[in-house]
Amino acid sequence: MHIKQLQQTWRWFGPGDPVSLQDIKQAGAQGIVTALHHIPHGEVWSPEEIQKRIDELKAGGFEWSVVESLTVHEDIKRRSGDYKGYIEKYKQSLKNLAGAGGRVVTYNFMPVNDWTRTDINYTVSDGSKALYFNWADMAVFDIHILQRKNAADDYPATIVEKAEKKFAAMSENDKQLLIDTVVFGIPGEEKRTPDGMRKELEKYSDIDRKALKENLAYFLQEVAPVASEYGIRLAIHPDDPPFDILGLSRIVCNREDLADIISFTDAPANGLCFCTGSLGANPANELPEMIAAFNKRIHFAHLRNVIRDKEGNFFEADHLDGDVDMYSVIKALLNVQQDVTHDIPFRPDHGHQMLDDLNKVTNPGYSAIGRLRGLAEIRGLELGIVRSWKK
């Protein structure tokens, strides 16, 4: 009996990434996850720019396995302004990507901010650095720095109180660090300022959960048939963290949300990026069961672990040691892989800054050695599962 393994990939931010393609080869990855980060959100990825990236990857001995992300313009998320024009541009980019090798295109539908953390230098017990999300720090940013209207109403009284005390004790430097962390975004892409963020948030003031889901449904009904036609599998990334933040509705957080999204269109391209770190931050999400339930709709996986506390704060733990049962997750994903003919790629998502990387400038979450450890552990675990099945 032949057991098909998952495709082992690695995220590369392009030629400016301090981690080179050769480093990635040595880490043992088989394919690359990348995007044209230099093209402004919403604009068409031209065949020339796509070809350039393919050539760069080829020179390093790689194929473009997954596009992450083909970002959805804010006008589309709000269904306002030139959203129709941006949807047409999205379709054009999909068309241009069709021959590119990468058959998976990842995107997210998080309004205003992509993934959000409050500390990117959280020291864990072994001295390595991890990414951390803390509600009181989030409230400091939201209530005291951003000064969003009625922000305090969105937090429990205990958090509001903690935030007040923390803010009072903060230096200007501490405040700036928190701002830089919250608005960090994606390496190589445009950074927001608190002012810019405030303005963007206001534009969402009358878009509630229902409206945002309708906008996602509309987008998917437009683009998923086109992606299907070009043999592309779309993969929506869950909201990270999987909770409402900054007064925004978050609609890709749990099993019900994922089921809704799958119901929006039958087009085969309509699928998921199963991020165990994002979904794992919510204790209600039973990850292996969800993988089994969504099965063939899982087009890509981010494998990462978290350790949560009672208040809902969490830090990113080592890949095998946290609240996510990675063994069961990989088993469930391998089961799905046996049911489909295409590859299901995964990447070791994030990693601690550790060893020599502690003295280097690295992209938060994306230093080499922490991810190398993650990939090595996951590969070993996967191989162990596969071998035990063969017996």
Applying CB under 6 A, which residues contact ligand DNO?
Answer: 68-69, 106-108, 114-115, 186, 237, 302, 365
Instruction: Find the shortest distance in angstroms from Cβ 236 to ligand DNO.
Output: 8
Instruction: Indicate the Cα dihedral angle 367, 285, 73, 304, nearest 10°.
Output: 10
Choosing from 275, 299, 319, 352, the catalytic residue is 275
Helices (H), 28-82: 47-59, 74-78
Residue 302: HSE in the Cβ half-sphere, 13 Å Cα cutoff: 29
Choosing from 17, 349, 352, 357, the catalytic residue is 349
Paired sense of beta strands 298-303 and 104-108, if any = unpaired
349 is catalytic: yes
Instruction: Find the shortest distance in angstroms from Cβ 235 to ligand DNO.
Output: 9
Choosing from 90, 107, 204, 366, the catalytic residue is 366
Complex with ligand DNO: residue 7 or 71, whichever CB lies closer:
71
Instruction: Find the shortest distance in angstroms from Cβ 138 to ligand DNO.
Output: 17
Q: How many CB atoms lie within 10 A of CB 15?
A: 12
Q: How many residues does the chain have?
A: 391
Partners of 298 in the β-ladder? 272
Complex with ligand DNO: residue 291 or 303, whichever CB lies closer:
303
352 is catalytic: no
319 is catalytic: no
Choosing from 73, 302, 319, 352, the catalytic residue is 302
Query: Which phi and psi (to 5°) does residue 251 adopt?
Result: -120, 10
Instruction: Find the shortest distance in angstroms from Cβ 12 to ligand DNO.
Output: 12
Instruction: Find the shortest distance in angstroms from Cβ 261 to ligand DNO.
Output: 14
Complex with ligand DNO: residue 24 or 385, whichever CB lies closer:
24
Complex with ligand DNO: residue 105 or 226, whichever CB lies closer:
105
Complex with ligand DNO: residue 144 or 250, whichever CB lies closer:
250
> Is residue 239 a contact partner of residue 251, using CB atoms and an 8 Å limit?
yes
Strand (E) or helix (H) holding 129: strand 129-133
Complex with ligand DNO: residue 72 or 334, whichever CB lies closer:
72
Cα–Cα distance for residue pair 310/64, rounded to 1 Å? 40
How distant, in Å, are the alpha carbons of 202, 273, 368 from that of 223? 27, 17, 34
In the 8-state DSSP scheme, what is residue 295? G
Of 302, 301, 362, the residue nearest 128 (C-alpha): 362
DSSP SS3 for 168: helix
Instruction: Find the shortest distance in angstroms from Cβ 6 to ligand DNO.
Output: 17
302 is catalytic: yes
The tokens describing 66, both together, are: 């997954």
Positions annotated as catalytic residues are: 237, 275, 302, 349-350, 366
